Chains A and B, each alone.
Chain A
Amino acid sequence: MLLSTLQTPRSLSRLSLTRHSHSYTSRASLTDQTPTLTTSPPPHSEILSTRQTLLSRRASAADLALSRLAHLRLAEPRLRAFLHLPDDDALLAQARRVDARIAAGDDPGPLAGVLIGVKDNICTKDMPSTGGSRVLAGYRPPFDATAVKRVRELGGIVVGKTNMDEFGMGSTTEASAFQVTANPWDESRVPGGSSGGSAAAVSARQCVVSLGSDTGGSVRQPASFCGVVGLKPTYGRVSRFGLMAYASSLDTIGCFGSSVADTGILLHAIAGHDRFDATSSKQDVPDFQSHFVSVSSLESKPLKGLRVGLIRETIDKGVDAGVISAIRAAAMHFEELGCSVNEVSLPSFSLGLPAYYILAVSESSSNLSRYDGIRYGNQVYADELDSLYGGSRAEGFGSEVKMRILMGTYALSAGYYDAYYKRAQQVRTIIRNSFKEALSQNDILISPAAPSAAYKIGEKKNDPLAMYAGDIMTVNVNLAGLPALVLPCGFVEDGPAGLPVGLQMIGAAFNEGELLRVGHIFEQTLENCRFVPPFVADDDIAF
């Protein structure tokens, strides 16, 4: 298997910007040809190479952690991706446990020595977990989220808590109560959101992989903006226990990696039933790694027979031309790999955005009630109970959160429930059915992950509707509860080195394995595209 061999350090050369310049028609003529295999090395698995390094005793987990941490700290002042970093001793203690297991001849676990960033709305024991909100400033949970617990049990090292839009409400990470994170591809741009910190940290190689959360696209859109792989699992695939709830029926914990393989390995680590989450599924978790096919053993048409549906509504008006051409090029690439690509229409697609916002804000208005200043978090001095509540919440929440709580409270109020919440639920059923139908005729559906590449910090801050509109590509998938993999597929010309464009692949429920298999082949065969931001190349840091 390809991934079992350690590869040479990746080339950190500047990337080629040729991909987006291919036109759909000129590439179409190439479909009959054998695709030329990539000349630059494809993304490899950092997790597996870390494991090899450790098992061959070429470096200890402590050494690796220290060198990673040094890079992380170097990059941090410019990126501001982390809200909390443990001190070196705490981190080294985790690494030394891994080293001790290796020294004892025990299997250190599939995530041994892997530095993992964790979004700040995922609870970590004895580490601050604020959800990006002032209302929880300084709050330290007494327990690890199930996903974090599993990651730690498998040898992973939690390197820090990543920045995010407050409680996941935002698409730029600007709604964090604490700091604004920069996009490693262009520091004047947003990393996307709400898992912007997790995406930027992986993009800038501050950590190997990271956990995020995706309620309406919060893993996939920042993955697209930062040029990394982002996976939103099927609803119920990963336990939500320990994830601060935003919209419970839509929330999922997702994974970021710099390769499909790493993303899949991380998902495998955290997926599966959890008795502490009644909505977690008992479906078996297949070994995603075994689905990966080595690039050297790929046939000329490795995806022959795969039916790919390009969602017509996602390459329509309102989507940047550069994004559309990158996606069309990706579609061409699928054809080169032997897929049949057809455009499919999902007439209910445009209904997703309003339905999503009604349901998400309704549930959030309820989920955020617990931040009342009584038991934990921010509490103001007040003469009477109502003022204590009002003051604590007024001071603790940011404006975006307040707006959504107000909207959600309105939507659930007597007399409005039927017109808003109930209707949105009906729309959700329609959307779910239309995806089911489309996925019965196609093996996967593809679309852009966002209508544009990363935009400037501050550009949409005062225009919430424009920002909400940016979620059009992703919210439907949450409403349908389906898995989706976003991987970088090309660039638009902008910023100092071009800006990455993410391709979204949507699969049938619990079929992450197929998405990862296809994504892995796509990634390994994509020509002349290296998704390492200039930020990393500038620092010239090799791992």
Chain B
Amino acid sequence: MASAIFRSFQVHPFLLYPSTLLRQRNGVYHLTTKATQSQTDTQQRQPQTKVSTSSTQSKKLDKIPKNYEAIIGIETHVQLSTLTKAFCGCPYHYGSPPNSSICPICMGLPGALPVLNSKVIEFAVKLGLALNCNLAFNSKFDRKQYFYPDLPKGYQISQFDVPIASAGFLDVDIPVEFGGGHKRFGITRVHMEEDAGKLLHAENGNYSQVDLNRAGVPLLEIVSEPDMRNGIEAAEYAAELQRLVRYLGVSNGNMQEGSLRCDVNVSIRPIGQSKFGTKVEIKNLNSFSSVTRAIDYEISRQVQLHSQGQEDQIVQETRLWEEGSQASAIFFRTITMRKKEGLADYRYFPEPDLPAVILSQEYVDDIIKSLPELPEIKRRRYEQMGLSMQDVLFLANDKNIAEFFDATLAKGADPKLVANWIMSDIAAFMKNEKLTINEIKLTPEELSELIASIKGGTISGKIGKEVLFELLAKGGTVKGLIEKKDLVQIVDPVEIEKMVEKVIAENPKQVEQYRGGKTKLQGFFAGQVMKLSKGKANPGLLNRILLEKLNSKS
């Protein structure tokens, strides 16, 4: 726990009376405690270690000196998107006014008792299965005890020695630009627990306030094996976890809102050494790129200390990742948050207010049946369709895009053609308009229809693109648009011949030049005919007839 960042805590005289501690205003509880000025200044900011690589962050993987290797493990907290909190009926909405979604149970009032929301178990089982874990059919909740103002009961309901899922793995495809390749990272355990509230510190540092909206929100903690070796692998692991929880619908996985929080453990050792180095924990990572950068920064910091013979200065501690800009200089760094003085004793014991968590095989089987196709399986399926890894990752890594893709395929469209359309024009449109695939007006049915219309020769590829943009922006059906705009391709040779003759008749000078040897002018004629046909002329037919006419010297 972050007890050190909140070291000073002072109570204002008017708050001595309990009634002022909990003021109800407009139906909103305000829980207020007051801290001293020095409160935010007590963070143990160490003089920043100057590390040469710190300001030149890049995506390259060759930053780790060849004679060292890094050992990285990740603890991830995923906030579950249940309708109500884990142990009471309060809803949770990110960003709602402080203490507007609390009740005696999540406030830890005397006499209040927790009752488990069964969705928490369902979501835990889903994720456990998706992470290829062994499920504990008989697990329980435990109390993890520590004091902190955001922890209303003085203990967190968690799982200690019998997590609901353990010993699994997560398969990840590293993006091509980072070297590619398939990696399998071990999952140590997945357990259920409740979130704590939040402390809001006054800007002047004079006081802190407690917001308990988040207290009691269900979390799954996923602990990985120390299987990652660099920042990219760690970030890809986290990204895959995010995809998984989104695919499963157990969390929105949003890092900015704290729905998915990663704490990483980093240690280094010279290659060939079997003993692990001292492990350092890094917190405050709220994007995948910060995961990458923080780890690579931390590796550099540790390697530098080690290579300078100062390995004793790598101590077991928790460091905060900071990135930002100061005086027009961008900086990245990890700073000491607190040193660990031995292991904290949380005095775990079984939670007596909650019955044991017993899973039946039938219950688990039903959940297995309900699982969607997971990202890894989807990627392998796309790969087998003959798509490139780049296409596979683009299509499979976003649940909504994958659904769109699959829905289009279900209408009988050719995978490679669909992939091309999505990856090129549709992706470009979404990027320009800042829309997600769920927000565009084009439906999978119409994309499939469009591809079929081009393939079947009803419209040309060129017209196809026009139709596509119309569909993307305004919606409608392919058939409707073709009819309305009279876009059906002209495949009647007689009709095309007429247009060719008309163009030839209207451009005698160019005909002369062509026949005089300037055959490049064929493109000019083709363009004119196409223009005349409003783009509807079948290009093959057009060119054949055009050449016939131009070369017939009649």
Which positions in A face B, CB cutoff 8 Å?
A: 121-123, 129, 131, 136, 138-139, 141-143, 145, 240-245, 247-249, 275-279, 362-363, 365-366, 368-372, 374-389, 409, 412-414, 417, 421
Contact across chains for B8 and A384 when beta carbons are under 8 A apart: yes
Closest to A247 in B: B352
Please judge, given known A-B contacts A389-B147, A417-B349, whether A279 and B355 are in contact too, CB under 8 Å: yes
Contact across chains for A279 and B7 when beta carbons are under 8 A apart: no
Is B354 located at the chain interface by the 8 A CB criterion? yes
The 10 A-B residue pairs with the shortest CB-CB distance, nearest first, are A369-B154, A385-B9, A249-B352, A248-B352, A412-B347, A242-B111, A244-B110, A123-B111, A384-B8, A414-B345
Contact across chains for B355 and A379 when beta carbons are under 8 A apart: no
Closest to A249 in B: B352
Contact across chains for B111 and A278 when beta carbons are under 8 A apart: no
Contact across chains for B154 and A372 when beta carbons are under 8 A apart: yes
Is B266 located at the chain interface by the 8 A CB criterion? no
Is B330 located at the chain interface by the 8 A CB criterion? no
**CB of A145 to closest CB in B, whole Å:** 6
Give the residue of B16, B107, B114, B348 whose beta carbon is less than 8 angstroms from that of A375: B107
Contact across chains for A381 and B113 when beta carbons are under 8 A apart: no
Cα of A139 to Cα of B19 in the assembled complex, Å = 9
In the complex, which residues 114-157 of chain B have their Cβ closer than 8 Å to any Cβ of chain A?
114-116, 143, 145, 147, 149, 152-155
**CB of A144 to closest CB in B, whole Å:** 10
Cα of A219 to Cα of B160 in the assembled complex, Å = 34
Cα of A241 to Cα of B16 in the assembled complex, Å = 29
In the complex, which residues 1-32 of chain B have their Cβ closer than 8 Å to any Cβ of chain A?
3, 6-11, 13, 15-16, 18-19, 21-22, 31
Closest to A389 in B: B147
Cα of A348 to Cα of B33 in the assembled complex, Å = 50
Contact across chains for A381 and B16 when beta carbons are under 8 A apart: yes
Is B97 located at the chain interface by the 8 A CB criterion? no
Cα of A279 to Cα of B11 in the assembled complex, Å = 38
Contact across chains for B18 and A139 when beta carbons are under 8 A apart: yes
Is B393 located at the chain interface by the 8 A CB criterion? no
B contact residues around A378 at 8 Å (CB): 18
A contact residues around B352 at 8 Å (CB): 247-249, 279, 363
Cα of A142 to Cα of B110 in the assembled complex, Å = 10
Cα of A409 to Cα of B109 in the assembled complex, Å = 21
8 other A-B residue contacts (CB within 8 Å) besides A370-B108, A384-B10? A123-B111, A138-B18, A139-B18, A363-B349, A366-B145, A366-B154, A369-B145, A388-B11
**CB of B540 to closest CB in A, whole Å:** 73
Is B210 located at the chain interface by the 8 A CB criterion? yes
Contact across chains for B18 and A376 when beta carbons are under 8 A apart: yes
Which positions in B face A, CB cutoff 8 Å?
A: 3, 6-11, 13, 15-16, 18-19, 21-22, 31, 33, 35-36, 104, 107-116, 143, 145, 147, 149, 152-155, 210, 343, 345, 347-349, 352-355
Give the residue of B13, B21, B115, B152 whose beta carbon is less than 8 angstroms from that of A278: B115
Closest to A280 in B: B113
Contact across chains for B31 and A375 when beta carbons are under 8 A apart: yes
Cα of A372 to Cα of B153 in the assembled complex, Å = 9
Query: Does more than half of chain B's interface fall in helix, strand or loop, or is it mixed?
Result: loop
Contact across chains for A376 and B10 when beta carbons are under 8 A apart: no
**CB of A417 to closest CB in B, whole Å:** 7
Contact across chains for A375 and B22 when beta carbons are under 8 A apart: yes
Cα of A374 to Cα of B99 in the assembled complex, Å = 14
B contact residues around A384 at 8 Å (CB): 7-10, 36
Please judge, given known A-B contacts A366-B143, A385-B9, whether A278 and B349 are in contact too, CB under 8 Å: no
Closest to B13 in A: A381
Interface-centre pick from A243, A374, A409 (highest chain B CB count, 10 A) = A374
Contact across chains for A243 and B154 when beta carbons are under 8 A apart: no
Number of A-B residue pairs with CB-CB distance less than 8 Å in the complex they form: 152
Contact across chains for B9 and A369 when beta carbons are under 8 A apart: no
Contact across chains for A369 and B153 when beta carbons are under 8 A apart: yes
Closest to B87 in A: A278
Cα of A198 to Cα of B13 in the assembled complex, Å = 37
Cα of A380 to Cα of B18 in the assembled complex, Å = 10
Cα of A412 to Cα of B144 in the assembled complex, Å = 11
Closest to B149 in A: A374
Contact across chains for B110 and A131 when beta carbons are under 8 A apart: yes
Cα of A368 to Cα of B104 in the assembled complex, Å = 16
Give the residue of A138, A370, A385 whose beta carbon is less than 8 angstroms from that of B110: A370
A contact residues around B33 at 8 Å (CB): 374, 388
Give the residue of A131, A244, A381 whose beta carbon is less than 8 angstroms from that of B10: A381
Interface-centre pick from B33, B115, B347, B348 (highest chain A CB count, 10 A) = B347
Cα of A380 to Cα of B34 in the assembled complex, Å = 12
B contact residues around A369 at 8 Å (CB): 145, 147, 153-155
Cα of A371 to Cα of B18 in the assembled complex, Å = 12
Contact across chains for A278 and B116 when beta carbons are under 8 A apart: yes
Cα of A381 to Cα of B13 in the assembled complex, Å = 7
Contact across chains for B354 and A278 when beta carbons are under 8 A apart: yes
Closest to B145 in A: A366
**CB of A407 to closest CB in B, whole Å:** 13
Interface-centre pick from B112, B116, B155, B348 (highest chain A CB count, 10 A) = B112
Please judge, given known A-B contacts A369-B145, A385-B6, A388-B11, whether A375 and B353 are in contact too, CB under 8 Å: no
Closest to B10 in A: A383
Cα of A384 to Cα of B10 in the assembled complex, Å = 5
**CB of A421 to closest CB in B, whole Å:** 6
Closest to B105 in A: A276
A contact residues around B6 at 8 Å (CB): 385
Contact across chains for B349 and A421 when beta carbons are under 8 A apart: yes
B contact residues around A409 at 8 Å (CB): 347
B contact residues around A145 at 8 Å (CB): 111
Interface-centre pick from B13, B112, B113 (highest chain A CB count, 10 A) = B113
A contact residues around B9 at 8 Å (CB): 382-388
Cα of A82 to Cα of B16 in the assembled complex, Å = 27
Cα of A363 to Cα of B155 in the assembled complex, Å = 12
A contact residues around B19 at 8 Å (CB): 138
Closest to A392 in B: B11
Closest to A135 in B: B110
Cα of A314 to Cα of B109 in the assembled complex, Å = 39
A contact residues around B15 at 8 Å (CB): 379
B contact residues around A389 at 8 Å (CB): 147
Please judge, given known A-B contacts A248-B353, A385-B8, A413-B345, whether A372 and B147 are in contact too, CB under 8 Å: yes
Please judge, given known A-B contacts A366-B155, A369-B155, A381-B10, whether A136 and B110 are in contact too, CB under 8 Å: yes
**CB of B206 to closest CB in A, whole Å:** 13
Cα of A198 to Cα of B150 in the assembled complex, Å = 36
Contact across chains for B109 and A380 when beta carbons are under 8 A apart: no
B contact residues around A413 at 8 Å (CB): 345, 347
B contact residues around A122 at 8 Å (CB): 111
Contact across chains for A385 and B11 when beta carbons are under 8 A apart: no
B contact residues around A368 at 8 Å (CB): 154
Interface-centre pick from A363, A365, A371, A384 (highest chain B CB count, 10 A) = A384
Closest to A129 in B: B110
Please judge, given known A-B contacts A366-B349, A409-B347, whether A241 and B18 are in contact too, CB under 8 Å: no
**CB of B487 to closest CB in A, whole Å:** 63
A contact residues around B152 at 8 Å (CB): 370, 374-375
Please judge, given known A-B contacts A278-B355, A370-B152, A377-B18, whether A141 and B110 are in contact too, CB under 8 Å: yes
A contact residues around B354 at 8 Å (CB): 278-279
Cα of A186 to Cα of B34 in the assembled complex, Å = 50
Give the residue of B10, B31, B147 whose beta carbon is less than 8 angstroms from that of A382: B10
A contact residues around B7 at 8 Å (CB): 384-385
